[in-house]
A and B are shown apart, each in its own frame.
Chain A
Amino acid sequence: DAGVTQSPTHLIKTRGQQVTLRCSPKSGHDTVSWYQQALGQGPQFIFQYYEEEERQRGNFPDRFSGHQFPNYSSELNVNALLLGDSALYLCASSPSLKTEAFFGQGTRLTVV
């Protein structure tokens, strides 16, 4: 049984570009959350998707958007990239809204 998988594992983008990150949840999980982890810090909540809808959002600008598909997989889109968007982006899945969250290996985004 595959756990939470994310793609790509590493990505380098230029300021102003757009990026799409992908996440496949663990089998049996229907809830996907995205987190941003800057170097040396704890993960920060971006948003959560459940039943293909954004259920809750953290303190991130509208440049960050997402989507959940009928098979529960999810995408994170970031527009107009800034240098400060460089971070590890983590996806976490849960079997329902308020239970344990299991993380993927993350996508390391570097903006130059």
Chain B
Amino acid sequence: GENVEQHPSTLSVQEGDSAVIKCTYSDSASNYFPWYKQELGKRPQLIIDIRSNVGEKKDQRIAVTLNKTAKHFSLHITETQPEDSAVYFCAVRGGWMDSSYKLIFGSGTRLLVRP
């Protein structure tokens, strides 16, 4: 079945710097790639997503890039702020019968933005 690997597991950056989180997936038929932010004790919040017919998508300080050939996608956060500190999860959906509805999540990246 589909497998999603996420790196790094922890990331510490200085306020104002950029942060990049990467995910790889195994099913080449996957077609939807969301990113979620989860603050301590709160729900996962959808922050950006991309579909397989698009290579890049940007929303203010957040961007996601997708390389379908290499089967990896990345989250880019620019001008980081302390409130960006949270756990970030990538997820994958789509593909053939087995994975057509469910989201498969990476193991998460704990981002710490130092003031």
Q: Show the binding face of A for B, using Cβ within 8 Å.
A: 4, 33, 35, 40-45, 48, 55-56, 58, 90, 92, 97-98, 100-106
Contacts and interface: CB of A to CB of B under 8 A. Distances in A.
Given A41-B108, A43-B89, A56 B49 contact: no
B13 interface: no
- Interface residue tally of chain B, by bracket? 20 to 34
A43 B43 contact: no
B102 A42 contact: no
A45 B46 CA distance: 16
The 10 A-B pairs of least Cβ separation, nearest first, read A42-B105, A45-B102, A56-B101, A103-B43, A105-B43, A103-B44, A42-B89, A48-B101, A43-B105, A42-B108
Contacts of A98: 32, 93-94, 100-101
A86 B22 CA distance: 29
Contact of A41 (B93, B101, B104, B107): B107
**Interface SS of chain A: helix, strand, loop or mixed?**
loop
Given A33-B102, A45-B103, A100 B46 contact: yes
A106 B43 CA distance: 7
Nearest to A104: B43
B101 A55 contact: yes
B48 to A, nearest CB: 11
A100 B102 contact: no
A47 B94 CA distance: 15
Contacts of B45: 103
B42 interface: yes
A48 B104 CA distance: 13
Contacts of A104: 43
Nearest to A46: B102
A58 B106 contact: no
A40 to B, nearest CB: 8
Contacts of A40: 108
Contacts of B32: 98
B101 A102 contact: no
